[in-house]
Homo-oligomer: A and B are copies of this chain.
């Protein structure tokens, strides 16, 4: 089942209403398949002629995050970004350049890597009595372009 069908189910279970705004926001995130800021999502909605206020966008992104339908990611650029939650096999992480802010998505997780995270998660769940729903891994450093520029100076 693709996540697109899955989320309606989640709404029923948590007794939240399925409204046009919510549908539209999930739609945008599914189509774009990348991390977007609230403002970017808002722009996409306007382009599609869906009239949704920015406050509603924020309120629903908060809700969708709590429901685990979207993931909130932060690259230290002053705003939150949101991306649709994928099935574990498509889970990915980010490399953030601390100089220019560029973000590279890293998706080619090898099987061992995936198993490693699962295992670590289970250890933590037991040790801290904490129900883990997701995880995010960030690598910070300097991208190729910025390294070349630095040398040039």
Contacts and interface: CB of A to CB of B under 8 A. Distances in A.
Interface of A: 65-66, 72, 74, 76, 80, 95, 97-99, 104, 106, 108, 113, 116, 120-121, 124-125, 127-144, 147
B132 A136 contact: no
A79 to B, nearest CB: 11
14 contacts: A65-B98, A66-B98, A95-B124, A97-B130, A113-B116, A116-B116, A128-B144, A129-B144, A130-B142, A131-B143, A132-B140, A134-B139, A134-B141, A135-B140
Lowest 6 A-B CB distances belong to which pairs? A132-B141, A129-B144, A74-B74, A133-B141, A135-B139, A131-B142
Question: How many copies of this chain are found per oligomer?
Answer: 2
A37 to B, nearest CB: 14
Contact of A130 (B76, B124, B134, B141): B141
Contacts of A97: 130
A133 B137 contact: no
Nearest to A136: B138
Contacts of A137: 135-138
Given A106-B124, A116-B116, A133 B140 contact: yes
A139 to B, nearest CB: 5
Given A72-B76, A136-B137, A140-B136, A130 B98 contact: no
